[in-house]
Amino acid sequence: MGIMEDSRKTKAELQAEVARLRTQVEKLRKRESARQTEECARAQFLAMLAHDIKKPLSAILACAEMVQDGVKAHGLTEEEDLLERLRGSVTTIDSLVTNYLDFSRIEAGLLALVLGPLPVDRLLQRMRRHYSAEARRRRLQLEVAAAPDALVVDGDMLALERVLINLVHNALKFTPAGGTIRVHADRQDGMAVITVQDTGPGIAAEDHPFLFEKYHHPTSSRQHEGTGLGLAIVKALVEAHHGRVEVDSPPGQGACFTLHLPLWKESSEDTSISLGSAPSLRHESH
């Protein structure tokens, strides 16, 4: 009898424990569901906020470019320099807003990419047009080598454009006047390889393991103002393309960031990579 009673007691305890665990699991499920709902609402709010901020920024930039054309025609060097500074400031603000919005979507699991054939040279030339004026204003050389015509990646144009913009923006920010930023692309080991190299102060070795972490600011001489999200976004977007990003930066010898991206295959079809059920990662063109 004692054994049977002990057995019934043990069974009752197990049932009670199972019921308790089920209750905990249900609470966790509801908590996670509420968190996801909150993240979606936050991402949607940020998308609307970013749109409201970017729209007047685009208007300011367009007006500055129109006035700049007239200033150039009259040879007003001082006024032209002021307008270049205005354009640079607007571009920086636009980049900060876009980065924060991008990372909010990535953290919320709302990143969606539409992959298809993307000529690398088209990507590089769009980036060159975006930053040529800013490079001149900072008295830097921006050298963008033409990529081979046949070099085509399986990528999302705006996502990879954001990757290059973040890398080149960092290079411009950390390279002293008179320096050079070189962007080059080629094929290597069955992948497209894009490098962004600068002649800045380089990155301290102890900072390398943390470079791609969100909000990280290097303790080395490359520390400048910013959100600390740019490289985290670069890593997330490149990995979403099934690629990888590497950095080589001996202190005092500049920094070189290398992207390895899968090539487009003729047999491939346009595909969509979704990390959540939300609108695609899309922004107005710069």
Tell whether 106 is covered by a domain. Answer: no
**Mean predicted confidence (pLDDT) in 221-230:** 61
- The pLDDT, as a whole number, for residue 267 is 58
244: in domain: yes
Beta strands in 67-140 (DSSP E): 112-119
Residue 67 lies in a domain: no
Give the DSSP H or E segment for 130: helix 120-137
Grade residue 268 by pLDDT with cuts at 50, 70 and 90: low
| Average pLDDT of the chain, as a whole number | 81
Q: Does pLDDT of 176 surpass 80?
A: yes
CATH number at residue 116: 3.30.565.10
Distances 29 to 37, 242, 270, 272 between C-alpha atoms, Å:
12, 30, 35, 28
pTM, entire model: 0.69
- Whose structure tokens read 């103002």? 225
Residue 241 resides in a domain: yes
Tell me if 263 is assigned to some domain. yes
Instruction: Find the range with the poorest average confidence among 155-169, 174-188, 271-285.
Output: 271-285
Joined tokens for residue 97: 């807003």
Range of the domain at 238: 112-274
- Rounded to whole angstroms, the Cα distance separating 127 from 285 reads 11
Give the per-residue pLDDT at 280. Answer: 39
Whether 265 and 98 have beta carbons less than 8 Å apart is answered as no
pLDDT band (50, 70, 90) for residue 83: confident
Q: What number is the average pLDDT over the span 2-12?
A: 67
- Flag whether 16 is in a domain: no
| Cβ proximity of 46 and 104 under 8 Å | yes
Task: Provide CB contacts within 8 A for 207, sequence distance 6+.
Answer: 216, 218, 219, 220, 222
Find out whether 152 and 263 touch, Cβ atoms under 8 Å: yes
Is 69 part of any domain? no
Number of folded domains that form the chain: 1
- Domain membership of residue 40 (yes or no) is no
